[in-house]
Amino acid sequence: MKKLLIQGMHFIGLSGIGWLLDFCVYAGFSAISGNLVKNNMISSWVGVTFVFFFATRKVFQNKSKIPLSCKYLIYLFYQCILILFVSKLLGIVNTEIIKNFKVMLILRYSPILSKILITPVTMILNFFVMKGLIEKL
């Protein structure tokens, strides 16, 4: 359990950096395009690649004979499905924010607020998928 908590803390740190990269790209795209699904799909690849690259070297131990390049392809496939799902969810959350809040500041930044609300779910899912993929496969 201690090892899992330590790995989780390190992964959260790396994911935080990856999320900042993702968030900056997402915010930049959101400033020029209103298509949240497309913006999130593009920006997510930046964070995903960063986290995979560093987590496989700093957090998880690859003791299997399957090369990391194959595991990366599997992880990218998983991310395609997750990013598509999360991007759709992002659009739903954004629509609900716009429908239910009348404060102009919230409405102006609703795409960014939506991204912030969804991120913890994806971080937790990514931790367990990466741990299983890197250490168990």
Question: For residue 107, what pLDDT is reported?
Answer: 67
Please give the chain's pLDDT, 137 residues, in tens: 788 888 888 888 888 898 889 889 988 888 888 777 778 778 888 888 888 888 888 888 877 888 888 888 888 888 888 888 887 887 888 788 778 777 776 667 777 777 778 778 888 888 888 888 888 87
Question: For residue 5, what pLDDT is reported?
Answer: 85
Question: For residue 105, what pLDDT is reported?
Answer: 67
Note whether 1 and 38 are within 8 A (CB).
no
Rounded Cα distance between 51 and 46, Å, is: 9
Question: For residue 9, what pLDDT is reported?
Answer: 85
Task: Provide the sign of the torsion angle of the four alpha carbons 74, 78, 79, 84, taken in this order.
Answer: positive
Predicted TM-score (pTM) of the model is 0.68
Question: For residue 13, what pLDDT is reported?
Answer: 86
Rounded Cα distance between 137 and 133, Å, is: 5
Question: For residue 113, what pLDDT is reported?
Answer: 77
